[in-house]
Amino acid sequence: MPKKRRTAATVKSMVHGVIEGAGQVQEQPIVDTLEKNYMPYAVSVIMSRAIPEIDGFKPSHRKLLYTMYKKGLLTGSLTKSANIVGETMKLNPHGDAAIYDTMVRLSRGYEALLHPYVESKGNFGKFYSRDMAWAASRYTEAKLAPICTELFSDIDKDTVDFVPNYDNTMEEPTLLPARFPSVLVNANTGIAVGMASNVCSFNLKEVCETTIARMQNPKYDVLSTLQAPDFPGGGQILYDREQMEEVYRTGRGSIRVRSRYSYDETANCIDITQIPPTTTVEAIVEKVIDLVKQGKAKEISDIRDETGLAGLKITIDLKRGTDPTKLMTKLFRMTPLEDSFSCNFNILVDGAPKVMGVGEILDAWTKFRINCVRRRTEYDLQKKMDKLHLLIGLQAILLDIDKAIKIVRETEEESEVVPNLMIGFGIDETQAEYVAEIKLRHLNREFILKRTDEIGELQKQIAELNAILDSDRRIKAIIIKELKNVADLYGQPRRSILLYADQIEEESEEEEIPDYPVNLFFTKDGYFKKITPQSLRMSNDQKLKEGDIVLEHIESTNNSDLLFFTDRCQVYKARTNDFSDTKASVLGDYIPAKLQMDEGENAMFMVATKDYQGTLVFFFENGKAAKVELLSYETKTNRKKLVNAYSDKSPLVKMFCLLEDIEILLTSTQGRMLLVHTGAVPVKTTRSTQGVQVMTLRRSAKLQKAEAFIESSGILKNPQHYRKTIPAIGSLPSKEELSGEQLTF
């Protein structure tokens, strides 16, 4: 056979190899791609990075603290932070910057925790400052704080599981056997994939007392001893019991926190010394400066950041005659000096993320701690049983020490010493090994008697440990004793004070907002425009989305209230001055987005009022009409959303805001028409009232249209034909009404 000729491409493929399918586009199902590529990443972030576990730590925290513990920094002196970071990289395969950032947050100097775990020396920055950066790790020093004794106590007694590190060269704990609920004592924040966690801090002493009470009585009211969180930066918590109960029950909700300040009458300035945990000094100063520039804080002559070695301090200089209380009330409303902490108690329990209330978290920690104490007790029991076993073997040779010596001396081979002792005294290999290792100087009766005297004490201790293991009550008693000890050693007074509703001074005077005439436009698709008369005279050509139309055009003023009624029986309130003046040539503000309506909710009608005078008349598809005073929608507090704005028993066809009663022309799907005078509809006090029947509908008919009727408009040639005593079925249009109309298809 002739040889097959080799081409250059064939030779090249033989030398370098060929990648099968190279250069070809292959289809791959998106679900398979997500499962293979994205899901492992998401699980890793949730389980091994962002969400804290029941011991109160994320893996990065735990690896750092355990490294410091193994380096002897719990009792030793300070060491360079760079040394700690380098050692931690044996457990944490991330860059040194990420590890050092973790150490900074745990340090006393950074002031982010109520009970810092790291004693620091040098510049570690400040939690409340955005621009105050910490020094590099080569310049700072650190060691473990004394409270870490409670984190690592008994960690060498098999209280928690250990796993190999990433390169299988050493082991690390999966959890720390914390003797107190550190998960609630120090704040923790993390953003994972599809979920997040934001746990606020609570006072250590209050947490320990509450945990003890909860262990003794599972139905204990947590709020009675754990009234509210306690933030490292202090501040004033605006206490709302209902809101706090919601947070404690569900693990979600928000807590309003105000700054603390003092007024220096001599210097006529306000000194702010504590701020909410969700903001920074720079953010507050920038916002106040912005208000001054806008002319909304004319009482302020200067503001400066005077933070120094004494701690946080923002000084606001006031103009002569300024009331500091009124000014601070305004600043609380308009700046981050008052802010909300959003709680999301999402914690990993038994390897799964779970959002829990405070009571559930304490129960989960108690379960975890019971397991730790049980494992520690089993470890101690095993050690004492092993020791007792050896001493019983030692006791056996007390009967004849000379015999033991004789066996050892007469045994020719060393390997036969242990078997011969086992035969000679009837002891097992472990006991014989122990006896054989005793030094010659200890082969006397006094030494052996002293050692065997421990047998009775060991037996008592073993019985005690067995009794503990057999009783959950005794295990809980041990945990309670440890909690009391921790509270006594490390308890501190509250930093955040509570402000109750009767202590909160709200701003009584309305902010001076310019009042001037405006034209308000509201469209079918939910767009809103506020246009001045001057601007409207220049151009009245309204820009709208395709298919959109203007539903309402109201002449009002800049200081009026706006009520937007939605298709979900809700009303959203706003002020006209919340919207910027605009022109007819723009689309305007999209109301569902502007007012943060619920997903899929649409605005249907708009009402503008200054004094809430007049009535609202609602017409429904079932032929009923409801009349409600506009005053029913006035609220004393600054509420932005009202539910049950009108009845949900039948779809709403149209609503009218009236200062005086008028006639409304109703049209049903069967073509019947009825003129209804709104004065005949009685006023109801309940917003969600179903109203009264005004148009009687037959079979599957519905009310199709409702429109204001003016007799002089000429819409109806014989209006009297359609005026009936309600409820009425209405009348079909007469021939003269239909004359001149063309058929439409």
Q: 94-112: per-residue pLDDT in tens?
A: 889 999 999 999 999 999 9
The predicted model gives 166-180 an average pLDDT of 94
Q: pLDDT grade, residue 439 (50/70/90)? A: confident
Using the predicted structure, report yes or no on whether residue 740 has a pLDDT greater than 70.
Answer: no
CA distance linking residue 546 with residue 209, whole number of Å? 64
pLDDT tens by residue, 312-345: 999 999 998 889 999 999 999 999 999 999 999 9
Tokens of 209: 């007392």
- Please state at what angle helix 472-490 crosses helix 454-469, rounded to 10 degrees: 100
Alpha carbon of 62 to those of 6, 53, 485: distances in Å?
63, 10, 23
Element of type H or E holding 305: strand 300-305
Q: pLDDT grade, residue 537 (50/70/90)? A: confident
Element of type H or E holding 521: strand 517-523
The full 3-state SS of 154-195, as one line of letters, equals: CCCCCCCCEEECCCCCCEEECCCCCCCCHHHHCCEEEECCCC
Residue in 121, 98, 99 with CA at minimum distance from that of residue 110: 121
In sequence order, the 6+-apart residues with CB closer than 8 A to the CB of 724 are: 674, 675, 730, 731
Question: What pLDDT was estimated at residue 2?
Answer: 47
Domain 364-489 fold: Topoisomerase; domain 3 (1.10.268)
Question: What pLDDT was estimated at residue 4?
Answer: 47
Q: Please list the residues that pair with 118 across neighbouring strands.
A: 107, 144
Would you say 667 and 673 are in contact if contact means Cβ atoms under 8 Å apart?
A: yes
3-class secondary-structure state, position 524: coil
Please work out, in degrees rounded to the nearest 5, the angle formed at the alpha carbon of residue 533 by the alpha carbons of 530 and 534.
Answer: 115
Element of type H or E holding 629: strand 624-629
The predicted model gives 669-683 an average pLDDT of 91
Using the predicted structure, report yes or no on whether residue 294 has a pLDDT greater than 90.
Answer: no
CA distance linking residue 412 with residue 416, whole number of Å? 8
Using the predicted structure, report yes or no on whether residue 745 has a pLDDT greater than 70.
Answer: no
CA distance linking residue 687 with residue 635, whole number of Å? 13
The predicted model gives 433-451 an average pLDDT of 80
- The CATH architecture annotation of domain 260-336 reads 2-Layer Sandwich (3.30)
Tokens of 457: 């004490």
Question: What pLDDT was estimated at residue 502?
Answer: 66
Least confident of 10-14, 281-285, 530-534, 730-734: 10-14
Would you say 531 and 518 are in contact if contact means Cβ atoms under 8 Å apart?
A: yes
pLDDT tens by residue, 105-162: 999 999 999 999 999 999 999 999 998 999 999 999 999 999 999 999 999 999 999 9
Question: What pLDDT was estimated at residue 396?
Answer: 82
Which residue's structure tokens are 């969600």? 688
Question: What pLDDT was estimated at residue 415?
Answer: 86
Residue 740: how many other CB atoms lie within 10 Å: 6
The predicted model gives 284-308 an average pLDDT of 91
The predicted model gives 528-557 an average pLDDT of 89
Hey, where are the domains in the chain?
43-178, 260-336, 364-489
Would you say 258 and 235 are in contact if contact means Cβ atoms under 8 Å apart?
A: yes
Handedness of CA 51, 53, 57, 62 (dihedral sign): negative
CA distance linking residue 623 with residue 637, whole number of Å? 35
CA distance linking residue 658 with residue 299, whole number of Å? 42
Domain 43-178 fold: Topoisomerase II; domain 5 (3.90.199)
Question: What pLDDT was estimated at residue 402?
Answer: 83
pLDDT tens by residue, 453-463: 888 889 999 99
Question: What pLDDT was estimated at residue 14?
Answer: 47
Would you say 632 and 685 are in contact if contact means Cβ atoms under 8 Å apart?
A: yes
The predicted model gives 569-592 an average pLDDT of 90
Share of the chain above pLDDT 70, in %: 94
Half-sphere exposure (Cβ direction) of 566: Cα atoms closer than 13 Å: 21
CB neighbour burial string for 205-222, b if at least 16 within 10 angstroms, e if fewer:
bbbbbbbbbbbeeeebeb
Q: Are strands 624-629 and 162-164 parallel, antiparallel or unpaired?
A: unpaired
- The residue length of the chain stands at 745
Using the predicted structure, report yes or no on whether residue 11 has a pLDDT greater than 50.
Answer: no
What average pLDDT does the chain have? 89
Task: Give the neighbor-by-neighbor strand order of the sheet with 641-642.
Answer: 603-609, 561-566, 571-575, 641-642
Question: What pLDDT was estimated at residue 699?
Answer: 81
CA distance linking residue 290 with residue 280, whole number of Å? 16
Using the predicted structure, report yes or no on whether residue 512 has a pLDDT greater than 70.
Answer: no
Peptide bond into 727 cis (omega under 30): yes
Question: What pLDDT was estimated at residue 78?
Answer: 95
CA distance linking residue 279 with residue 127, whole number of Å? 9
Share of the chain above pLDDT 90, in %: 64
Question: What pLDDT was estimated at residue 52?
Answer: 95
The predicted model gives 469-479 an average pLDDT of 94
Using the predicted structure, report yes or no on whether residue 257 has a pLDDT greater than 90.
Answer: yes
Asked if 572 is an active-site residue, the reply is: no
pLDDT tens by residue, 553-576: 999 998 899 999 999 999 999 989
Q: pLDDT grade, residue 16 (50/70/90)? A: low
CA distance linking residue 410 with residue 417, whole number of Å? 9
Question: What pLDDT was estimated at residue 731?
Answer: 86
The predicted model gives 416-445 an average pLDDT of 85
Residue from 38, 139, 166, 516 carrying the catalytic annotation: 139
CA distance linking residue 96 with residue 675, whole number of Å? 80
